[in-house]
Amino acid sequence: IIGTTNPDVMEIMKQLYAPFMRKSSRILYMDPASAELTKYAANVMLATRISFMNELSGLCEKFGADIEKVRGGIGSDGRIGNSFLFAGVGYGGSCFPKDVSALIHIGQSNDYPMTIAQSVQRINYGQQDRFSDKIIQYFHGREKQTQLGVWGLAFKARTDDIRESPAIRCVRRFVEAGIKVVAYDPQAAGGDLQGTIRRVANGYDVLAGSDALVIFTDWQEFRTPDFEEIAAKLSKPVIFDGRNLYDPKFVRRFGIEYHSIGRPVS
């Protein structure tokens, strides 16, 4: 997307990108205002899919449905597709939160409220708070005697980026409630949480002395863990999975109480 109405600029950009466009041109020229809105609208559209699935996951928990089965069903419709339909603890990073906020701001500046974008933002923060509230409520009355082991601080796998990470927001709420937190992430640092939580160098080191394992990031090493070791090392074998990484029936075989997003507790 090139935002310009200047023919000279168009020609310069055409020559600049020519080595990458040998088979066909993928450049779209448009006025700067349209280019700006295109960029924001693309990310807000994707964020909308995530927030819709997250809101639907809450209804699934009330209605007795399974969000993973619902996702498979609606994703099989070619008009919808499978991308960005995974329910979880919310989106983060440097793009989606910023671009949702930007579109909301542009709407406000032009006296045209972007109500869908506002709802997407509200649902995203609400999903993070709903997940952390569930955990805090689980240990109600015992917060100061509770320790949580946390897997993942980055907003997604394969990055050290913690900007707008749901993990950071939730862990901060745990600490404010008086809960101790031991965290592991293979790449991400703890940001302003440094000094308020304990970091360890191995994922299984968060388990000893912890009353539950909380998963925020879908790192590959978290996808096939040693459930026997988890069950043996936790003070009580409980997992709160913010990314729906596991099959509830399989986890239950190890005597682990398993809480996920939009699925029955097992």
Q: Across the 266 residues of the chain, what is the mean pLDDT of every consecutive 10-residue run?
A: 96 94 91 98 99 99 98 98 98 98 99 99 99 98 98 98 97 98 94 88 98 98 98 98 98 98 90
φ/ψ of 2, rounded to 5, equals -115, 120
pLDDT at 265 (0 to 100): 85
6 domain residue, yes or no: yes
pLDDT at 190 (0 to 100): 76
pTM surpassing 0.85?
Answer: yes
pLDDT at 55 (0 to 100): 99
The reply to whether 228 and 148 lie within a common domain is: yes
The reply to whether 150 and 186 lie within a common domain is: yes
pLDDT at 114 (0 to 100): 99
Axis-axis angle for helices 115-138, 32-63 (nearest 10): 40
- Three-state DSSP at 258 gives strand
Catalytic member of 10, 13, 95, 177: 95
pLDDT at 36 (0 to 100): 98
265 domain residue, yes or no: no
β-bridge pairing 198-199 and 212-215: unpaired
The reply to whether 143 and 225 lie within a common domain is: yes
Query: Quick check: is 95 catalytic?
Result: yes
The reply to whether 153 and 249 lie within a common domain is: yes
For 14-32, give one letter per residue: b (16+ CB within 10 A) or e. eeeeeeeeeeeeeeebeee
pLDDT at 194 (0 to 100): 79
Q: What's the domain count of the chain?
A: 3
